[in-house]
Chains A and B, each alone.
Chain A
Amino acid sequence: MSIPPHAPTIDTSDLILRGYREDDFEAMASFGASERARFVGGPQDQWSSWRAFLAGIGHWTLRGYGMWMVEHRETGQVAGRVGMIFNDGWHEPELGWHIYDGFEGKGYAYQACLAARSYSARHFGLDAVISYISPENIRSVALADRLDARFECEGELLGKPCHIYRHPREVNP
């Protein structure tokens, strides 16, 4: 049985949102091992990053959508991952973003999130989605704000308290 390739490719001015490649693992594992991952379940060891890498692929098969790898077009480097996460235990699908070392502060996360959010609303029927954000994650709160997402309520994800933000409707707002 052949399942079609998962993540569709999306081009933005500086970035390519695409599916997973074997050599993306290094970048993902170094992000996972770093302090930068503290708000997204890390820092974590190589084993957990390996699991997350493969589960990121499997998510597309199980749900029909997922997180894209974000490639910086000019350098070909992996700048992070963005997209829709709906693991078991999530209340609804969320827009998530992981931006890797060296790629923050350039507007890439904003650019990638807008593209992923718009695509997901139009092609996956996931509109006015949420993002789970730790209130201590100042940068993510600022990005949510810039994306016009609004604080909705305090919530919980896998037993940990967090804030739930709601994104604006993309289709027929």
Chain B
Amino acid sequence: MTLTLNIPRLETDRLILRGPEARDFEPIAAFYADESRSWGFGGPLARDDAWRWLATSIGHWALHGYGFFTMELKDTGTACGITGLWNPEGWPEPELGWILFEGFEGKGLAREGAECARHWAYSDLGMTTLTSNIKPGNDRSIALATRMGAQYERTYDNVHLGEDLLYRHPSPEALR
């Protein structure tokens, strides 16, 4: 069967989570150009590689039926980050990931978006467990994973990123 896209639109108090679109390219290119922000997310990437990353993330939805949402502020429509599920070739299992664009951190937006995506994975996709893969030293992400109830499970060698920490989120039952 030919792969097609069917991406839901989710809402939280402050956010819309929607599929990636062409208009997300500039904020994504800016994010990936900044090594201090993107080193834990496969960056830094040159502009043309950031474009391919965006194209890849759309294709991910077609292949798996899940992927990364663009997080948009309800108030202004501004894209403020990315969250969702990522499962590339060679990954140990699907993971929940998140990043914020510059200027949007410290407001609890990543947690709000990521918890929404986690809930969707459990309730709509029927996933029974979820991990987050975090680069050693990415303390902000580790802190958020911990606040979301995830626990360190093991260190493994990621096919693309090298040494990586695997955190496991609470099961759907535990969150009920």
Contacts and interface: CB of A to CB of B under 8 A. Distances in A.
Nearest to B9: A1
- Interface residues on chain B, size class: 20 to 34
Given A1-B19, A19-B3, A87 B52 contact: yes
- Of B6, B22, B25, B59, most A-chain CB atoms within 10 Å: B59
B2 A62 contact: no
B62 interface: yes
- Interface residues on chain A, size class: 20 to 34
A162 B5 CA distance: 35
Contacts of B52: 51, 55, 87-88
B58 A57 contact: yes
B141 interface: no
A5 B62 CA distance: 10
Nearest to B67: A54
A88 B51 contact: yes
Contacts of A88: 25, 47-48, 50-52
B143 interface: no
Interface in A82-100: 87-89
Contacts, number: 103
B56 to A, nearest CB: 4
Contacts of B6: 2-3
A53 B8 CA distance: 22
Contacts of B8: 1
A42 B133 CA distance: 28
Contact of A54 (B1, B22, B60): B60
Nearest to A63: B22
- Of A47, A58, A62, most B-chain CB atoms within 10 Å: A58
B63 A57 contact: yes
A56 interface: yes
- Of A6, A21, A55, A87, most B-chain CB atoms within 10 Å: A55
23 contacts: A1-B8, A1-B9, A1-B18, A1-B19, A2-B6, A3-B7, A3-B19, A19-B4, A22-B3, A47-B88, A49-B89, A50-B90, A54-B57, A54-B62, A54-B63, A55-B52, A57-B63, A58-B20, A61-B21, A62-B25, A62-B54, A88-B25, A158-B48
Given A18-B2, A54-B55, 15 more contacts: A1-B7, A3-B5, A5-B2, A19-B4, A21-B1, A46-B89, A54-B58, A55-B55, A55-B56, A56-B59, A57-B55, A61-B22, A62-B25, A63-B22, A88-B51
